[in-house]
Amino acid sequence: MRTMTRHPARGLAASLLLIFAAAAFGQDEAGAGGGDGMLTGWHIVRPGENLIRITTKYLGSPARWRENWKLNPEIKNPHVIAPGTRLRILLDFELAPPVARLKEVSGQVEERPVPIPWNDAQAEDLLVEKDGLRTYKDSSTELEFRDGSNLVLSEESLVFLRTSERSVTGPKKRSVEIVEGQAEVQALEPGAPRTDIEILVGTAKATATQSEDGLAQARARKAADGAAQVMVYEGASEVEAGGESVEVPKGMGTAVPENARPSPPEKLLPPPAPLEPAAASEWPFGNPWFSWQPVPEARAHTVEICADPGCGQLVRRAAEVRDARWRPEPLPEGDLYWRVTAVAPSGLDGYPSEAVPFKILFSGTDTLPPTGELSVSGESVTRDGVTYYEAGASIEASMTDGESGIESWTVEVDGRQLDESELAGPWATGEHTARVVGVDRAGNRGASDSIRFQVDADGPAVELRTGGSELVAEKLGVGSIPEQWCKRRKRWVKRYTRPTSGEWPVWTLIAAGSTETPMTDDYDPEEILRPGQRTDLRVDVAGDDPGVLLLAAGRLDVGPSAVTVEDGGDVSFCRPAGPGGPGYAKNAILWVGATDAGSGKVVSLSIDTESRDAADPGAAAEIHLVVETEDVLGNRRRVELPFRPLKTTD
């Protein structure tokens, strides 16, 4: 014999739903009636009973015992039947003693037809006074009575039928003792027959009554600590305990500690709003997540999954759920319903939500997380094994799940979730880490492997250097200045006018181009040298390492870079021969170049001089050197260098 298992940690050791429907108890579907259309049920034979006594019990007369024998041809001797035998018999509720019939049995349900021990219950079994009924986890059963009342037991419930009273003038009364669990009374169709139900819960007695229009819905529970709790959703209830009684109107509830008086009624919480599974949704796996909009005042929530809208056929139940989501063990295939109820800090249930229909297409589980892939596309260049992308590079991502499908996904870059509009950049210069994360319809979370990508979003930096002949030799790729170049100095001097005191410095373009520019003895310097006074200079240079050499006449400071180009004395191209040999005057040369720390590929450099009026009206115009650079990824930089020229002296 199985023993009833208690679960005190759940706060509710068992569940019992008592439902009084408005419909009358009529004949069952095919196979439930007798030969003349009478209602039938299955009777468990008790010690000392035979077919004649059983017929008298349910029909008020032994006259039709032979008809019952025909319904049970396996019985050899109708006068001697072993206790515990299950017989189909004719039933007349008007003549029979108070009796209930099991309408539905789901999962593991046991009955105790006194004095027969506990045994497995089956649909259409008949129970009478003193008989007991209990269910185990994820199991339920439904009792029905002639007066239209139903009794539904949920998982881990225990109930005994007690004396039923009949009154000629007043309403009928039935008494049910809840040993563990809860009971719910319902009469939700206007005009239902008046039926007051008395429920015994520990030391409390609750009587649920219908309203004037026949509506009633109330729940009574025996909590784990032995206290009784009564909640009224329609109609009213009177609760008696400790020598006092309290009226509990619609929308209110009361708690009765064991051996104490009822507490003042309190308002019941509203129903939570179910979110997922949504109504009429279909799920290709058996363990979806259930979520709802919680009631803020609730201590916890109770979730029920059933095979019918009234939750008479329980499939799963979870009490004391603290979060606003819950995931059950795999559910069976088929059409199901679910509802959720808020539980107040006092332990009273609020209004249950409407039952939401949904469908399980496959009872298997989905425990595998989704997988993701992502890549970076756009203009790029690789240097020293590192690929540099443009600032406008795009992230392309995808998320797949072969079981339940994707619920939602997003891309994370540097730990921040991005909107779809941000996937095309622009990105800041530097290294970035990206991954795609998502959730499938079963609530499994997954992520792709992280990828790293380098972005070059800055234009090339401007390089400024000063020097003499050594700088020219370095940038033009020679060890010294060719002698014949110096022999042409007279021609240069004619084309070049040295500024005198009070004049602004003069810039002369020596060379423009890559450092690979040759400087050989037979190279005509006029091809790369443009001597002469240049008050307006515009140079555009292309190449991987572009730069410009300028000959400075005079002395000036190059703005914030603090680069000073000084007049070395003889500012003509070559010095006369002497100690040290031919060469440029020291610090008479300015190199303007460009370097790129990212892609390393500078494709162009432009230099433009601009004359601007000084802030002081009496001063000469200022000269600004404007440098613009661009790398292979299209990044540009503009640097404006205001000169603070110093007048030269003779």
Tell me: pLDDT of 74 over 90: yes
Distance CA 67, CA 1 (A): 34
Lowest-confidence pick of 299-303, 460-464, 492-496, 595-599:
492-496
CB 600 within 8 A of CB 564: no
Q: What is the pLDDT of residues 415-444, one digit of tens each?
A: 999 998 899 989 999 999 999 999 988 878
3-state secondary structure of 395: strand
Mean per-residue pLDDT of the chain: 78
Task: State the pLDDT at residue 534.
Answer: 46
Q: What is the pLDDT of residues 148-197, one digit of tens each?
A: 667 788 888 888 888 655 544 444 566 888 888 887 777 666 665 666 67
Which positions ≥6 away from 644 have C-beta within 8 Å? Answer: 556, 557, 559
Residues of the chain within CATH 2.60.120.1440 domain(s) are 8-25+93-259
565-578 residue pLDDT tens: 554 444 334 544 44
CA distance 77 to 505: 135
Determine the pLDDT at residue 570: 41
Dig out the tokens for 549 from the structure: 């050499």
**What is the pLDDT, as a whole number, of residue 508?**
59
Burial class (CB in 10 A: 0-12, 13-18, 19+), 368: middle
Count Cβ atoms within 10 A of the Cβ of residue 256 and give its class: 0-12 exposed, 13-18 middle, 19 or more buried: buried
Is the CA virtual torsion 188, 22, 113, 108 positive or negative?
negative
Q: Rg for the chain (alpha carbons), in Å?
A: 48
Average pLDDT over residues 5-30: 37
Specify the pTM: 0.60
Residue 596 pLDDT exceeds 50: yes
How crowded is residue 162: how many other Cβ atoms within 10 Å of its Cβ? 15
- Yes or no: say if 338 and 353 are a contact pair by the CB < 8 Å rule: no
Q: Which tens digit of pLDDT belongs to each residue from 97-154?
A: 778 888 888 889 999 999 999 999 999 999 988 999 998 988 888 888 766 667 788 8
Task: Supply the pLDDT for residue 196.
Answer: 65
Give the CA angle between residues 345, 304, 133 to the nearest 5°: 100
- pLDDT score for 198: 82
Q: Fill in the DSSP letter of residue 148.
A: S
Look at 328 and 648; give whichever has higher pLDDT: 328
pLDDT of residue 72: 95
Residues 13 and 181: beta-carbon distance below 8 Å: yes
Where are the domain boundaries for CATH 2.60.40.10 in the chain?
273-360
Write down the CATH number for the domain with range 273-360: 2.60.40.10
- Residue 510's pLDDT band, with cuts at 50, 70 and 90, is low
Place of tokens 């970035």: 432
- Is residue 14 scored above 80 in pLDDT? no
With cut-offs at 50, 70 and 90, classify the pLDDT of residue 375. very high
The whole-number pLDDT of residue 10 equals 35
Whether 212 shows a pLDDT value over 50: the answer reads: yes
Local confidence band at 318 (pLDDT 50, 70, 90 cut-offs): very high
532-555 average pLDDT score = 65
The pLDDT confidence band at residue 591, using thresholds 50, 70 and 90, is confident
pLDDT digits (tens, 9 = 90+) for 218-254: 888 888 888 999 999 989 999 999 999 999 999 999 9
What confidence tier does 612 reach under pLDDT thresholds 50, 70, 90?
A: low
Band (pLDDT 50/70/90 cuts) for residue 200 is confident
The domain 8-25+93-259 having CATH identifier 3.40.50.620: the answer here is: no
Whole-number pLDDT of residue 84: 93
DSSP of 426-471 = ---SEEEEEEEEEEETT--EEEPPPEEEEE--SPPEEEEEEESHHH
Task: Give CATH for domain 374-455.
Answer: 2.60.40
pLDDT at residue 230, as a whole number = 93
Q: What is the mean pLDDT of residues 362-369?
A: 85
Round to whole Å and give the CA distance between 243 and 203: 10
Task: Give me the pLDDT at residue 617, please.
Answer: 64
